């Protein structure tokens, strides 16, 4: 991840880190900047970030509707 390698974490925290968007963002940045890979190698992380964005966008829109009304 950004500070400590995920491989050195206990199994519980490795699985918990899947819910952290920063893990996916750092994985994408490392893959693109250091290895120069394309979308075919980073699509699982890109899908995860898309899911995070969709869920948080829906929650935000719902909260905004409740605040306005």
Task: Kindly report the pTM of this predicted structure.
Answer: 0.81
- Whole-number pLDDT of residue 69: 86
**Given pLDDT bands bounded at 50, 70 and 90, which one contains residue 2?**
low
Within 8 A by CB and 6+ apart from 31, the residues are 37, 41, 42, 45
Number of domains in the chain: 1
The string of pLDDT tens digits covering residues 6-59 is 889 999 999 999 999 999 999 999 999 999 998 999 999 999 999 999 999 999
Residue 1, in any domain of the structure: no
For residue 24, the enclosing domain spans 6-68
The reported pLDDT for the residue numbered 16 is 94
**Residue 10 maps to a domain:** yes
CB-CB contact of 41 with 30 (8 Å)? no
């Amino acid at each position: 991840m950004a500070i400590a390698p995920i491989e050195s974490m206990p199994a519980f925290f490795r699985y918990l880190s899947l819910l952290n968007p920063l893990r996916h963002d750092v994985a994408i940045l490392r893959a693109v900047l250091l290895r120069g890979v394309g979308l075919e190698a980073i699509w699982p992380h890109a899908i995860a970030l898309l899911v995070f964005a969709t869920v948080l966008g829906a929650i935000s829109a719902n909260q905004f509707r409740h605040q306005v009304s």
